[in-house]
Amino acid sequence: SQKIEQNSEALNIQEGKTATLTCNYTNYSPAYLQWYRQDPGRGPVFLLLIRENEKEKRKERLKVTFDTTLKQSLFHITASQPADSATYLCALCASGGSYIPTFGRGTSLIVHP
């Protein structure tokens, strides 16, 4: 069956360090992969998208990598700040269909001052 796995344990890091979150998937052929941020009590907010033929994407302090051989995406936040504390969701949009995003359960990031 199709699975999207994100670490259920919270990631605790110190301010200024780089946070790295992992998204692994099985039995998918994604056209692209997306990362969203979700704050408590709020809806998810889109951050970045990376296509199947792209290896890396950057946006300000954010970097996403996509390895379709390993079936893995890494999401990095450099120079992390306490305001980056949130849950980060990975979503896959499968090819050959209507590109409906399917979400992982998310990983909570806590940046300590």
Partner 1 sequence: GAGVSQTPSNKVTEKGKYVELRCDPISGHTALYWYRQSLGQGPEFLIYFQGTGAADDSGLPNDRFFAVRPEGSVSTLKIQRTERGDSAVYLCASSPSPGRSSGNTIYFGEGSWLTVV
Site residues (vs partner 1, CB under 8 A): 4, 6, 8, 31-32, 34, 41-46, 49, 51, 89, 91, 93, 95, 98-106
Write out the two tokens for 33: 């992969």
- Token pair 């605790």: residue: 12
39 vs 73: CA distance, rounded Å = 21
CB of 29 to partner 1, least distance (A): 13
CB of 1 to partner 1, least distance (A): 14
At residue 84, φ and ψ (nearest 5 deg) are -80, -10
Nearer to partner 1, 19 or 90 (CB): 90
Nearer to partner 1, 18 or 99 (CB): 99
CA angle (60, 64, 70) in 5-degree steps: 170
